[in-house]
Amino acid sequence: MTFDLDSTRVQSAVFLACSRVGLDTDQGRHTVKRWLNMPREEWPGCCAGSCAVCNLDVQTAVELTLEYLEQA
């Protein structure tokens, strides 16, 4: 499924998910939106480094976003 990343529905779901995970930055929300239209098998894994935006947090936020969008 491809999402319209500019839609109010997607923007709201991303904002809620990022807030819940602690990705309250524009960079965090931008990364989550990019991943929404990527196949899950292409999501980058954890690099065990000190990423500005942790991939594990992004993955959690994307999964929450998808849950929110399914409920809407």
Task: Kindly state whether residue 2 falls inside one of the protein's structural domains.
Answer: no
pTM for the whole thing? 0.88
Q: Is there a domain that residue 13 lies in?
A: yes
Tell me what the mean pLDDT of segment 15-44 comes to: 93
**pLDDT mean over 43-53:** 78
Question: How much of the chain, in percent, has pLDDT values that exceed 90?
Answer: 74
- What is the distance between the alpha carbons of residues 61 and 29, in angstroms, rounded to a whole number? 9
pLDDT computed for residue 63 by the predictor: 97
Q: How many domains does the chain have?
A: 1
Is residue 49 in a domain? yes
Q: Which helix (H) or strand (E) holds 10?
A: helix 8-21
Domain annotation covers residue 40: yes
Domain limits for position 61:
8-71
Give the pLDDT mean for 39-67: 87
* Alpha-carbon distances, residue 67 vs 5, 34, 36, 47, 48 (angstroms): 16, 17, 12, 25, 26
Task: Return all residues near 12 (Cβ < 8 A) that are at least 6 apart.
Answer: 68
Examine residue 59 and state whether it is found in any structural domain, yes or no. Answer: yes
Answer with the residue of higher pLDDT: 41 or 1.
41
User: Is 65 part of any domain?
Assistant: yes
